[in-house]
Protein backbone atom coordinates (compact mmCIF):
# COMPACT_ATOMS: atom_id res chain seq x y z
CA UNK A 1 0.00 0.00 0.00
CA UNK A 2 3.03 2.28 0.32
CA UNK A 3 3.12 2.54 -3.46
CA UNK A 4 -0.53 3.60 -3.59
CA UNK A 5 0.03 6.27 -0.93
CA UNK A 6 3.06 7.61 -2.78
CA UNK A 7 1.01 7.74 -5.96
CA UNK A 8 -1.72 9.72 -4.21
CA UNK A 9 0.80 12.23 -2.80
CA UNK A 10 2.43 12.64 -6.20
CA UNK A 11 -0.97 13.09 -7.76
CA UNK A 12 -1.73 16.07 -5.56
CA UNK A 13 1.83 17.39 -5.64
CA UNK A 14 1.77 17.88 -9.41
CA UNK A 15 -1.65 19.24 -10.27
CA UNK A 16 -0.43 20.10 -13.78
CA UNK A 17 -0.70 16.38 -14.60
CA UNK A 18 -3.99 14.56 -14.39
CA UNK A 19 -2.34 11.24 -13.61
CA UNK A 20 0.68 9.50 -12.02
CA UNK A 21 2.62 6.46 -13.18
CA UNK A 22 5.19 4.10 -11.69
CA UNK A 23 6.68 0.82 -12.89
CA UNK A 24 8.96 -0.56 -15.60
CA UNK A 25 8.58 1.10 -18.98
CA UNK A 26 10.31 -1.53 -21.10
CA UNK A 27 9.43 -4.41 -23.40
CA UNK A 28 7.66 -7.08 -21.33
CA UNK A 29 7.14 -4.55 -18.52
CA UNK A 30 4.19 -3.26 -16.52
CA UNK A 31 3.25 0.04 -14.88
CA UNK A 32 0.66 1.09 -12.33
CA UNK A 33 -1.18 4.35 -12.88
CA UNK A 34 -3.62 6.52 -11.07
CA UNK A 35 -5.93 9.20 -12.39
CA UNK A 36 -9.07 10.86 -11.09
CA UNK A 37 -11.89 8.36 -10.46
CA UNK A 38 -14.02 7.96 -13.56
CA UNK A 39 -11.21 8.84 -15.96
CA UNK A 40 -11.15 7.35 -19.44
CA UNK A 41 -7.70 5.89 -20.18
CA UNK A 42 -6.34 4.70 -23.52
CA UNK A 43 -2.98 3.20 -24.47
CA UNK A 44 -2.14 3.42 -28.17
CA UNK A 45 -5.82 4.05 -28.79
CA UNK A 46 -6.99 1.03 -26.85
CA UNK A 47 -9.35 1.31 -23.84
CA UNK A 48 -7.58 0.55 -20.53
CA UNK A 49 -9.56 -0.92 -17.59
CA UNK A 50 -9.76 1.52 -14.64
CA UNK A 51 -10.99 0.74 -11.11
CA UNK A 52 -13.33 2.86 -8.97
CA UNK A 53 -10.36 4.74 -7.48
CA UNK A 54 -8.95 5.69 -10.87
CA UNK A 55 -6.16 3.07 -10.75
CA UNK A 56 -5.07 1.28 -13.90
CA UNK A 57 -2.34 -0.99 -15.27
CA UNK A 58 -0.36 -0.63 -18.49
CA UNK A 59 1.40 -3.59 -20.10
CA UNK A 60 4.13 -3.54 -22.77
CA UNK A 61 4.65 -6.62 -24.93
CA UNK A 62 7.87 -8.15 -26.13
CA UNK A 63 7.47 -6.36 -29.48
CA UNK A 64 6.33 -3.02 -27.95
CA UNK A 65 7.37 0.02 -30.00
CA UNK A 66 9.84 2.57 -28.57
CA UNK A 67 7.01 5.03 -27.84
CA UNK A 68 3.55 4.29 -26.43
CA UNK A 69 0.84 6.95 -26.40
CA UNK A 70 -1.16 7.27 -23.19
CA UNK A 71 -4.33 9.34 -23.10
CA UNK A 72 -6.14 10.19 -19.86
CA UNK A 73 -9.37 12.10 -20.44
CA UNK A 74 -7.87 13.39 -23.67
CA UNK A 75 -4.56 14.52 -22.11
CA UNK A 76 -1.87 12.88 -24.23
CA UNK A 77 1.55 11.75 -23.03
CA UNK A 78 4.22 9.85 -24.92
CA UNK A 79 5.87 7.09 -22.88
CA UNK A 80 9.36 5.88 -23.78
CA UNK A 81 9.43 2.06 -23.76
CA UNK A 82 12.97 0.69 -23.46
CA UNK A 83 13.95 -2.13 -25.82
CA UNK A 84 15.48 -5.33 -24.48
CA UNK A 85 17.79 -7.95 -25.92
CA UNK A 86 16.18 -11.37 -26.12
CA UNK A 87 18.26 -14.53 -25.93
CA UNK A 88 18.07 -17.11 -28.71
CA UNK A 89 17.50 -20.71 -27.65
CA UNK A 90 18.29 -23.46 -30.15
CA UNK A 91 17.07 -26.98 -29.51
CA UNK A 92 17.98 -29.62 -32.06
CA UNK A 93 17.24 -33.32 -32.36
CA UNK A 94 13.61 -33.04 -31.21
CA UNK A 95 11.12 -35.61 -32.54
CA UNK A 96 9.41 -33.94 -35.58
CA UNK A 97 5.94 -34.23 -33.94
CA UNK A 98 7.18 -31.96 -31.11
CA UNK A 99 8.14 -29.28 -33.63
CA UNK A 100 5.22 -29.50 -36.07
CA UNK A 101 1.96 -30.68 -34.48
CA UNK A 102 -0.16 -33.20 -36.40
CA UNK A 103 -3.55 -32.07 -37.83
CA UNK A 104 -5.56 -33.43 -34.87
CA UNK A 105 -3.34 -31.57 -32.40
CA UNK A 106 -3.67 -28.38 -34.50
CA UNK A 107 -7.47 -28.49 -34.15
CA UNK A 108 -7.14 -28.77 -30.38
CA UNK A 109 -4.45 -26.07 -30.22
CA UNK A 110 -6.73 -23.63 -32.08
CA UNK A 111 -9.70 -24.34 -29.78
CA UNK A 112 -7.53 -24.01 -26.67
CA UNK A 113 -6.08 -20.68 -27.85
CA UNK A 114 -9.64 -19.39 -28.39
CA UNK A 115 -10.65 -20.53 -24.90
CA UNK A 116 -7.70 -18.74 -23.30
CA UNK A 117 -8.42 -15.58 -25.31
CA UNK A 118 -12.05 -15.69 -24.18
CA UNK A 119 -11.08 -16.01 -20.50
CA UNK A 120 -8.49 -13.21 -20.79
CA UNK A 121 -11.10 -10.93 -22.36
CA UNK A 122 -13.28 -11.04 -19.23
CA UNK A 123 -11.87 -8.04 -17.34
CA UNK A 124 -12.45 -7.65 -13.61
CA UNK A 125 -12.53 -3.99 -12.47
CA UNK A 126 -11.21 -4.88 -8.98
CA UNK A 127 -7.50 -4.29 -8.24
CA UNK A 128 -6.91 -7.58 -6.44
CA UNK A 129 -3.16 -7.45 -7.15
CA UNK A 130 -2.72 -4.49 -4.77
CA UNK A 131 -2.16 -6.85 -1.81
CA UNK A 132 1.18 -7.70 -3.44
CA UNK A 133 2.53 -10.68 -5.36
CA UNK A 134 4.56 -13.63 -4.03
CA UNK A 135 6.64 -16.30 -5.83
CA UNK A 136 4.57 -19.16 -7.35
CA UNK A 137 7.09 -21.93 -6.58
CA UNK A 138 10.40 -22.53 -4.83
CA UNK A 139 13.30 -23.11 -7.18
CA UNK A 140 15.72 -21.46 -9.60
CA UNK A 141 14.62 -19.85 -12.87
CA UNK A 142 15.42 -22.36 -15.63
CA UNK A 143 13.90 -20.49 -18.57
CA UNK A 144 13.41 -16.76 -19.10
CA UNK A 145 10.58 -14.89 -20.79
CA UNK A 146 11.01 -13.88 -24.42
CA UNK A 147 13.77 -16.25 -25.51
CA UNK A 148 13.48 -16.81 -29.25
CA UNK A 149 13.19 -20.51 -29.90
CA UNK A 150 14.60 -22.31 -32.89
CA UNK A 151 13.50 -25.94 -32.85
CA UNK A 152 15.30 -28.28 -35.26
CA UNK A 153 16.31 -25.12 -37.16
CA UNK A 154 12.77 -23.74 -37.45
CA UNK A 155 11.82 -20.49 -35.66
CA UNK A 156 8.91 -20.88 -33.24
CA UNK A 157 6.99 -18.53 -30.91
CA UNK A 158 9.17 -16.95 -28.21
CA UNK A 159 8.96 -18.31 -24.68
CA UNK A 160 5.81 -16.76 -23.20
CA UNK A 161 6.63 -17.08 -19.50
CA UNK A 162 9.17 -17.96 -16.83
CA UNK A 163 10.20 -21.54 -16.01
CA UNK A 164 11.01 -22.52 -12.43
CA UNK A 165 12.83 -25.79 -11.85
CA UNK A 166 11.05 -27.85 -9.18
CA UNK A 167 10.26 -31.53 -8.63
CA UNK A 168 6.93 -33.21 -9.40
CA UNK A 169 4.51 -32.60 -6.53
CA UNK A 170 6.12 -29.37 -5.26
CA UNK A 171 3.46 -26.79 -4.32
CA UNK A 172 2.35 -24.18 -6.86
CA UNK A 173 0.86 -21.01 -5.39
CA UNK A 174 -1.22 -18.21 -6.81
CA UNK A 175 1.07 -15.19 -6.99
CA UNK A 176 -1.71 -12.86 -5.91
CA UNK A 177 -5.29 -12.54 -4.72
CA UNK A 178 -7.63 -13.39 -7.56
CA UNK A 179 -10.31 -15.56 -9.09
CA UNK A 180 -9.60 -18.77 -11.03
CA UNK A 181 -10.65 -18.19 -14.65
CA UNK A 182 -9.42 -21.50 -16.08
CA UNK A 183 -8.72 -24.96 -14.71
CA UNK A 184 -8.15 -27.17 -17.76
CA UNK A 185 -7.15 -30.82 -17.29
CA UNK A 186 -5.10 -31.28 -20.48
CA UNK A 187 -4.05 -28.64 -23.00
CA UNK A 188 -1.76 -29.68 -25.89
CA UNK A 189 1.15 -27.40 -25.01
CA UNK A 190 0.59 -26.59 -21.34
CA UNK A 191 -1.05 -29.76 -20.00
CA UNK A 192 -2.95 -29.27 -16.74
CA UNK A 193 -3.33 -25.50 -16.70
CA UNK A 194 -4.72 -22.94 -14.22
CA UNK A 195 -5.30 -19.24 -14.85
CA UNK A 196 -6.00 -16.59 -12.18
CA UNK A 197 -7.48 -13.12 -12.72
CA UNK A 198 -5.94 -10.43 -10.50
CA UNK A 199 -7.99 -7.54 -11.88
CA UNK A 200 -7.63 -4.65 -14.34
CA UNK A 201 -6.58 -7.07 -17.10
CA UNK A 202 -3.75 -8.77 -15.17
CA UNK A 203 -3.92 -12.58 -15.27
CA UNK A 204 -1.38 -15.27 -14.46
CA UNK A 205 -1.14 -18.81 -15.82
CA UNK A 206 0.40 -21.95 -14.28
CA UNK A 207 1.24 -24.80 -16.67
CA UNK A 208 2.42 -28.44 -16.82
CA UNK A 209 0.83 -29.13 -13.41
CA UNK A 210 0.44 -32.66 -12.04
CA UNK A 211 -2.52 -31.67 -9.89
CA UNK A 212 -4.94 -28.74 -9.51
CA UNK A 213 -6.51 -27.90 -6.18
CA UNK A 214 -8.87 -25.18 -7.40
CA UNK A 215 -11.83 -24.94 -9.73
CA UNK A 216 -13.07 -22.23 -12.08
CA UNK A 217 -14.76 -19.33 -10.34
CA UNK A 218 -12.98 -19.97 -7.03
CA UNK A 219 -11.44 -17.05 -5.15
CA UNK A 220 -7.80 -17.54 -4.14
CA UNK A 221 -5.42 -15.58 -1.95
CA UNK A 222 -1.80 -14.62 -2.62
CA UNK A 223 0.38 -17.61 -1.70
CA UNK A 224 -2.53 -20.07 -1.63
CA UNK A 225 -1.59 -23.50 -3.02
CA UNK A 226 -3.52 -24.03 -6.26
CA UNK A 227 -1.81 -27.21 -7.49
CA UNK A 228 1.44 -29.11 -7.84
CA UNK A 229 4.39 -29.06 -10.23
CA UNK A 230 4.35 -31.68 -13.00
CA UNK A 231 5.42 -32.34 -16.57
CA UNK A 232 2.03 -32.50 -18.31
CA UNK A 233 1.58 -31.23 -21.86
CA UNK A 234 4.70 -30.59 -23.93
CA UNK A 235 7.18 -30.31 -21.09
CA UNK A 236 10.70 -31.64 -21.45
CA UNK A 237 10.77 -32.42 -17.72
CA UNK A 238 9.13 -31.39 -14.44
CA UNK A 239 8.99 -27.63 -13.93
CA UNK A 240 6.51 -24.81 -13.40
CA UNK A 241 5.91 -22.59 -16.40
CA UNK A 242 4.16 -19.45 -15.26
CA UNK A 243 3.04 -16.54 -17.33
CA UNK A 244 1.56 -13.09 -16.84
CA UNK A 245 -0.62 -11.11 -19.21
CA UNK A 246 -2.31 -7.73 -19.39
CA UNK A 247 -5.37 -8.00 -21.62
CA UNK A 248 -3.96 -10.09 -24.49
CA UNK A 249 -0.38 -8.81 -24.03
CA UNK A 250 2.16 -11.30 -22.65
CA UNK A 251 4.41 -9.76 -19.99
CA UNK A 252 7.70 -10.82 -18.42
CA UNK A 253 6.60 -12.51 -15.16
CA UNK A 254 9.86 -11.58 -13.45
CA UNK A 255 9.27 -7.89 -14.25
CA UNK A 256 5.65 -8.08 -13.09
CA UNK A 257 6.88 -9.62 -9.83
CA UNK A 258 9.49 -6.88 -9.40
CA UNK A 259 6.91 -4.12 -9.86
CA UNK A 260 4.01 -5.60 -7.89
CA UNK A 261 5.78 -7.75 -5.25
CA UNK A 262 4.43 -7.78 -1.69
CA UNK A 263 6.27 -4.99 0.12
SS3 81: coil
In angstroms, give the least distance from the CB of 158 to Zn ion. 11
Q: Which is nearer to Zn ion, 20 or 163 (CB)?
A: 163
Residue 163 in the binding site for Zn ion (CB under 5 A):
yes
Question: For residues 214 and 226, is the Cβ–Cβ distance under 8 A?
Answer: yes
Q: Tell me how far apart the alpha carbons of residues 86 and 70 are, in angstroms, rounded to a whole number.
A: 26
DSSP bridge partners of 51? none
Residue 252 in the binding site for Zn ion (CB under 5 A):
no
- Degrees to nearest 5, angle at CA 43 with 63 and 10: 115
Residue nearest to Zn ion (CB): 241
The 10 Å Cβ neighbour count of residue 252 is: 27
- Options 39-47, 117-125, 130-138, 241-249: segment touching Zn ion (CB under 5 A): 241-249
Residue-level length of the chain: 263
In angstroms, give the least distance from the CB of 159 to Zn ion. 6
In angstroms, give the least distance from the CB of 68 to Zn ion. 27
Q: Which is nearer to Zn ion, 161 or 223 (CB)?
A: 161
* Single residue of 128, 173, 198, 241 touching Zn ion by CB under 5 A: 241
- Options 37-45, 164-172, 221-229, 240-248: segment touching Zn ion (CB under 5 A): 240-248
- Options 43-51, 71-79, 119-127, 162-170: segment touching Zn ion (CB under 5 A): 162-170
- Options 45-53, 101-109, 160-168, 248-256: segment touching Zn ion (CB under 5 A): 160-168
- Options 56-64, 83-91, 209-217, 237-245: segment touching Zn ion (CB under 5 A): 237-245
Residue 177 in the binding site for Zn ion (CB under 5 A):
no
Q: Tell me how far apart the alpha carbons of residues 201 and 70 are, in angstroms, rounded to a whole number.
A: 16
In angstroms, give the least distance from the CB of 178 to Zn ion. 21
In angstroms, give the least distance from the CB of 231 to Zn ion. 12
Q: Which is nearer to Zn ion, 128 or 159 (CB)?
A: 159
In angstroms, give the least distance from the CB of 161 to Zn ion. 5
In angstroms, give the least distance from the CB of 149 to Zn ion. 10
- Degrees to nearest 5, angle at CA 222 with 30 and 194: 80
Q: Tell me how far apart the alpha carbons of residues 4 and 143 are, in angstroms, rounded to a whole number.
A: 32
SS3 253: helix
Instruction: Give Cα separations from 78 to 61, 71, 81, 83 (angstroms).
Output: 16, 9, 9, 15
Query: Do β-strands 141-143 and 75-80 pair in parallel, antiparallel, or remain unpaired?
Result: unpaired
In angstroms, give the least distance from the CB of 182 to Zn ion. 17
Q: Tell me how far apart the alpha carbons of residues 119 and 254 are, in angstroms, rounded to a whole number.
A: 23
Q: Tell me how far apart the alpha carbons of residues 191 and 231 are, in angstroms, rounded to a whole number.
A: 8
- Options 51-59, 112-120, 181-189, 235-243: segment touching Zn ion (CB under 5 A): 235-243
Binding site for Zn ion (CB under 5 A): 163, 241
Amino acid sequence: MRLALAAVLAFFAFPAFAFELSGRFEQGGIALGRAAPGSAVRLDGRAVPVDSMGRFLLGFGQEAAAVAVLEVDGERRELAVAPRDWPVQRIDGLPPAKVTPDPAALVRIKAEAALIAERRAAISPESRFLGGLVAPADGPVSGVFGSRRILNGEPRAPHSGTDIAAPVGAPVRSVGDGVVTLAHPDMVFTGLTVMVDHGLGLQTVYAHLSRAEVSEGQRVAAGQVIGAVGASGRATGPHLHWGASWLDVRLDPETVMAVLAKK
